[in-house]
Chain A
Amino acid sequence: MEITQILFWFLSVLAVFGALMMVTSKNPVYSVLWLIVVFFAISGHYILLNAQFLAIVNIIVYAGAIMVLFLFVIMLMNLNAETEPQKNKWLKIAGVVAGCSLMLVFVAALRQSDELLKAPVSMGGETGLIKTLGKTLFTDYVLPFEISSVLFLSAMVGAVVIGKKGD
Chain B
Amino acid sequence: MSIFFLLLQQELLLTAIIFVLLFVKLSTKQWNSQTVLSFVNILLVVNLAAGFFFKEKGTLFGDMFQTNDLLRFEKNILNLGTLLISLQAYNWLLKHKHAIEFYLLMLSTLLGMFFMLSSSNLLMFYVGLELASIPLAALANFDLDKKRSSEAAMKYIMSSAFASGLLLFGISLIYGMVGSVNFTDIAVAASENPLFLFGFILLIAGFGFKISAVPFHLWTADVYEGAPVAVTSYLSVISKGSMLFVMTSVLSTVFANLLFQWYNIVAVLAVLSMIVGNLFAIRQQNIKRFLAFSSISQVGFILIGMSGANIESHSSVVYFVLVYLFSNLAAFAVINVISEASGKENIDDYKGLYKTNPALTWVLAIALFSLAGIPPTAGFFGKFFLLLGGASKGNYLLIIVAALNMVISLYYYLRIIKAMFMDANETPVEKLAISWSPKISMAVCMAGIVVTGIISGAYEYIYSLLK
Residues of B contacting A: mostly: helix
Whether A151 contacts B134 by the Cβ 8 Å rule is yes
In the complex, what residues of A have CB within 8 A of residue B61's CB? 140, 142-143
Give the segment of B108-116, B257-265, B316-324, B410-418 that binds chain A.
B108-116
In the complex, what residues of B have CB within 8 A of residue A113's CB? 177, 193-196
Q: A143-B64, A143-B65 are in contact. Are A116 and B127 (CB under 8 A)?
A: no
Q: How far is the CB of A162 from chain B (nearest CB, A)?
A: 5
Number of A positions contacting B (CB below 8 A): 30
A99: CB under 8 A from chain B?
A: no
Q: Which residue of the partner chain A has the closest CB to B150? A: A162
Whether B123 contacts A144 by the Cβ 8 Å rule is yes
Q: How far is the CB of B175 from chain A (nearest CB, A)?
A: 11
A72 to B198, CA, bound (A): 38
Whether B137 contacts A165 by the Cβ 8 Å rule is no
B138: CB under 8 A from chain A?
A: yes
Q: Which residue of the partner chain B has the closest CB to A110? A: B195
Q: What 1/0 mask marks residues of chain A from 101 to 124 whose CB sits below 8 Å from any chain B CB?
A: 000011011101100111000000
A121 to B303, CA, bound (A): 40
Q: Which residue of the partner chain A has the closest CB to B139? A: A158
Q: How far is the CB of B444 from chain A (nearest CB, A)?
A: 27
Give the segment of B46-54, B97-105, B291-299, B346-354 that binds chain A.
B97-105
Whether B179 contacts A116 by the Cβ 8 Å rule is no
Q: A105-B198, A112-B193, A150-B18 are in contact. Are A158 and B123 (CB under 8 A)?
A: no
Whether B108 contacts A109 by the Cβ 8 Å rule is no
Q: How far is the CB of B18 from chain A (nearest CB, A)?
A: 7
Chain A residues 124-155 with CB under 8 Å of chain B are: 140-144, 147-148, 150-151, 153-155
A→B interface (CB under 8 Å): 105-106, 108-110, 112-113, 116-118, 140-144, 147-148, 150-151, 153-155, 157-162, 164-165
Show 8 A/B contacts (Cβ-Cβ < 8 Å), sorted by A.
Answer: A112-B193, A143-B124, A148-B127, A151-B130, A153-B22, A157-B101, A161-B141, A162-B138
